[in-house]
A and B are shown apart, each in its own frame.
Chain A
Amino acid sequence: MILKSKLGIGLFLISISFFGVYTLNPDGPNRILINLLTFAGIYAISAMGLNVHFGLTGLINFGHAAFMGVGAYTTILLIPHAAGREGSLNESGLPLLLAIVIGLIASALFGLIIGLPAIRLRGDYLAIVTIASSEIFRLTVRDQEEFTGGVYGVISFSDSFQNKRPKFVENLALILDVSVGQLWVAISSWVIVVLLFFILKRLQHSPWGRTLRAVREDEDAVRALGKNAVWIKLQSFMLGASIAGLSGILLAFNYGTLQVEMFVPLLTFYIWAIMILGGVGSLSGPVFGSILFWSFISETDQLASLIFENADGQQIAGVRFMLVGILIIILMVFRPSGIMGKKEELLLDVK
């Protein structure tokens, strides 16, 4: 019964925010809605990965942006692309699906590399190590210009993804009057969200998933029962990392370009806000959280430009981020379990 009412609250809030999008943007609401849903889908995937870390296992990961980045960079650099200042096209490349699989494995391995030293540390130390690792990743990618394109980024890689597009997407895009490319990214990411939801649901109720939650609740008890708690935490870290990698790949295809500045620590905090808003430890939480978060964000910009008349674009965006900060504070103080989460499943204190 409680679950049903929570679902009701979630759906109610989402309908309100969609209504808001339609009334605030009378001309071309479809375009804005598809844009919103694309980002919501991609960030929902990422938040699902973070939820495996924090919600299920209780690992405090502040380096989520780097996991997204590793997946994105590995995949994109393996398919045909153009990188760097000159941006000459590199025609040769692996098929997309193979590249994605390698990207996901790379993300998982990166999770393993960070996890090996860090996972034994107490929660607040883990937070510092993961955020530091994510900055090391970002600075390294930025620095290795001949390989990753550095600050100039990577472009011209969308074709590998867009030529997999089925015919019906084009017709649908014509009807809705939206960009075909983005619609295809949106559809792909929401299909992945649904698939991931069912996979994680199975996993959560499997013996493995129960062990994860047992690690979160009482690591010593798990050890006493003969399970290798460190290895289980590492597995969770790798699984969450490769889910994040997948969302990173989709994010790159959505932008059509890959910039290292996409993976700043602020991205990690976005995903945290989404996870907390939706509900830590709940499987559908990240999905609801993501849609609400992006509706909230897309509606604040207009509000901000009304308040500050002379502000430049960056300052307008600043208002949005200020609101994200307030959102995190208010949620954490008044409703740390978010919309869908259960309070008793929340790990807010390290032992």
Chain B
Amino acid sequence: MIDQLGNGLLLGIIIAMASVALSLLYGVTRIVNFAHGEIIALGAIMASYFSNPRTSRYIFFEDLSPIGLSFEISIVLAIFICGLFGALLEVLVFRPLRKNDFGNIAVLVITIGISIFLRHFFLIFASSKPQGYPLELQRREQYFIFDLTPRDAKLIVFGVIIMIIFGLFISFTKVGKQMRAVRDSNELANISGINSDNIILYTWILSSMLAGAAGIFQGMINDVRWNMGFLILLLVFAGTVLGGIGTSFGAMVGGFLIGIVVQVSVALPFMEGHSEAKNAIALSLMIFILLVRPQGIFGKKERIS
């Protein structure tokens, strides 16, 4: 069980990043964003497109070769593109919907439409073959009690740093405080002179960038696939709901827990030979939490029935 803990930590940090992003977006805009998984995949696919050498066997869009930039620059570019994409979604789709008073179920169904569209656009853009990044293979080493490659260990450190920066941003900067104000009450925030349209735009950008970073991490420990976003989306939902949808700290803890549960459950005695079903354990945990504590572990009590 201990040897799975490192993998659990790794998956946990990825899901935590994506969950925090989803939860922030839900808190500020009340959108249950099913297209969140596709933004995760966008980050991973863009990084793969920028970083692989021109001569590699990956082909995009029938005959487009990858660009072949250095990996670090590719990551920055990919995260930037994710932020841009989030901004475009808000400006072109969700702001007009909000101005026209679309109900939240209608918006939810629209995010599903966007998700299906984008996922199959990725299938055409990046083909159905699993892809990777131009990184050398590394040997696993012992860190404390965790069994990880040096790169995985670095990912965990980077993930923690990203989460800390995010936490500081949301707690102490002006924009972060305004985001929390809009989350708590859109109308009161407006009265206090906060331009909630701008804040929602910043939220979309921030949420998409975090999601994109999570996608790149996921691409580094696994591979890059057109449907990777949808595969991880339900776990991200589970993490968000577990910690309390709309909260930041709760979503982070929930995401960590879900990641660890998924990986560690492989080592449970009754799961021997059933590793395919590991996601089912995490999803069942989410449903159980909804049964006993519907607002999630850290959520504030509100009417959800």
Q: Do A and B come from one complex?
A: yes
> Which A residues have a C-beta under 8 Å from some C-beta of B?
60, 117-118, 120-125, 127-129, 131-133, 135-136, 139-140, 142-143, 265-266, 269, 272, 276, 308-312, 314-315, 318-322, 324-329, 332-333, 336, 347-350
Distance to closest chain A CB from B275 (angstroms)? 9
Please give, as numbers and ranges, the residues of chain B lying within 8 Å of A315 by CB-CB distance: 123-124, 127-128
Binds A, one of B8-16, B79-87, B146-154, B234-242: B234-242
Binds A, one of B112-120, B160-168, B193-201: B112-120
User: Quick one: closest B residue to A230, CB to CB?
Assistant: B305
Q: Report whether B283 and A272 are in contact in the complex, using a CB–CB cutoff of 8 Å.
A: no
Please give, as numbers and ranges, the residues of chain A lying within 8 Å of B109 by CB-CB distance: 272, 276, 328, 332
Q: Report whether B276 and A139 are in contact in the complex, using a CB–CB cutoff of 8 Å.
A: yes
Q: Report whether B117 and A325 are in contact in the complex, using a CB–CB cutoff of 8 Å.
A: yes
Per CB-CB distance, the 6 closest pairs between chain A and chain B, nearest first, are A325-B117, A349-B103, A328-B113, A348-B103, A325-B116, A329-B113
User: Quick one: closest A residue to B275, CB to CB?
Assistant: A143
- Rounded to whole angstroms, the CA-CA distance of A77 and B97 in the bound complex is 47
> Which B residues have a C-beta under 8 Å from some C-beta of A?
32, 62-63, 97, 102-106, 108-110, 112-121, 123-124, 127-128, 230, 234, 237-238, 241, 274, 276-277, 279-280, 283-284, 286-287, 290-291, 294, 303-305
Most buried by A among B124, B287, B294, B304: B124
A325 touches which of B114, B124, B230, B276 (Cβ 8 Å) = B114
- Rounded to whole angstroms, the CA-CA distance of A136 and B32 in the bound complex is 20
Q: Report whether B110 and A328 are in contact in the complex, using a CB–CB cutoff of 8 Å.
A: yes
- Rounded to whole angstroms, the CA-CA distance of A331 and B234 in the bound complex is 25
Task: Given A308-B124, A349-B104, decide whether A129 and B113 contact each other with a Cβ distance below 8 A.
Answer: no
Task: Given A136-B284, A315-B128, A325-B120, decide whether A123 and B305 contact each other with a Cβ distance below 8 A.
Answer: no
- Rounded to whole angstroms, the CA-CA distance of A142 and B103 in the bound complex is 37
B116 touches which of A123, A324, A347 (Cβ 8 Å) = A324
Q: Report whether A348 and B102 are in contact in the complex, using a CB–CB cutoff of 8 Å.
A: yes
Q: Report whether B116 and A143 are in contact in the complex, using a CB–CB cutoff of 8 Å.
A: no
26 A-B pairs, CB-CB below 8 angstroms?
A: A60-B108, A121-B290, A127-B108, A132-B238, A140-B280, A142-B276, A142-B277, A143-B276, A265-B230, A269-B112, A272-B109, A272-B112, A310-B63, A312-B128, A314-B123, A314-B128, A318-B124, A321-B116, A322-B124, A325-B117, A328-B116, A332-B106, A332-B113, A347-B105, A348-B104, A349-B106
Distance to closest chain B CB from A285 (angstroms)? 16
Distance to closest chain B CB from A90 (angstroms)? 23
Instruction: Tell me the interface secondary structure of chain A in the complex.
Output: helix
Q: Report whether A350 and B105 are in contact in the complex, using a CB–CB cutoff of 8 Å.
A: yes
Q: Report whether A349 and B105 are in contact in the complex, using a CB–CB cutoff of 8 Å.
A: yes
Task: Given A117-B291, A121-B304, decide whether A132 and B123 contact each other with a Cβ distance below 8 A.
Answer: no
A135 touches which of B104, B279, B291 (Cβ 8 Å) = B279
Q: Report whether B290 and A143 are in contact in the complex, using a CB–CB cutoff of 8 Å.
A: no
Q: Report whether A325 and B284 are in contact in the complex, using a CB–CB cutoff of 8 Å.
A: no
Q: Report whether A318 and B103 are in contact in the complex, using a CB–CB cutoff of 8 Å.
A: no
Please give, as numbers and ranges, the residues of chain B lying within 8 Å of A124 by CB-CB distance: 32, 104-105, 108
Further 11 A-B residue pairs, CB within 8 A, beyond A318-B124, A333-B110: A125-B290, A125-B294, A128-B237, A139-B277, A308-B62, A312-B128, A322-B121, A327-B113, A328-B113, A332-B113, A349-B103
Please give, as numbers and ranges, the residues of chain A lying within 8 Å of B303 by CB-CB distance: 122
User: Quick one: closest B residue to A133, CB to CB?
Assistant: B287
Please give, as numbers and ranges, the residues of chain B lying within 8 Å of A349 by CB-CB distance: 103-106
A319 touches which of B105, B120, B276, B279 (Cβ 8 Å) = B120
Distance to closest chain A CB from B214 (angstroms)? 19
Q: Report whether A117 and B279 are in contact in the complex, using a CB–CB cutoff of 8 Å.
A: no
Q: Report whether B280 and A325 are in contact in the complex, using a CB–CB cutoff of 8 Å.
A: no
- Rounded to whole angstroms, the CA-CA distance of A318 and B126 in the bound complex is 11
User: Quick one: closest A residue to B116, CB to CB?
Assistant: A325
Task: Given A60-B105, A124-B32, decide whether A132 and B116 contact each other with a Cβ distance below 8 A.
Answer: no
Please give, as numbers and ranges, the residues of chain B lying within 8 Å of A325 by CB-CB distance: 113-120
Q: Report whether B123 and A318 are in contact in the complex, using a CB–CB cutoff of 8 Å.
A: yes
Please give, as numbers and ranges, the residues of chain A lying within 8 Å of B114 by CB-CB distance: 325, 329
Please give, as numbers and ranges, the residues of chain B lying within 8 Å of A266 by CB-CB distance: 116
- Rounded to whole angstroms, the CA-CA distance of A349 and B115 in the bound complex is 20
Q: Report whether B241 and A125 are in contact in the complex, using a CB–CB cutoff of 8 Å.
A: yes
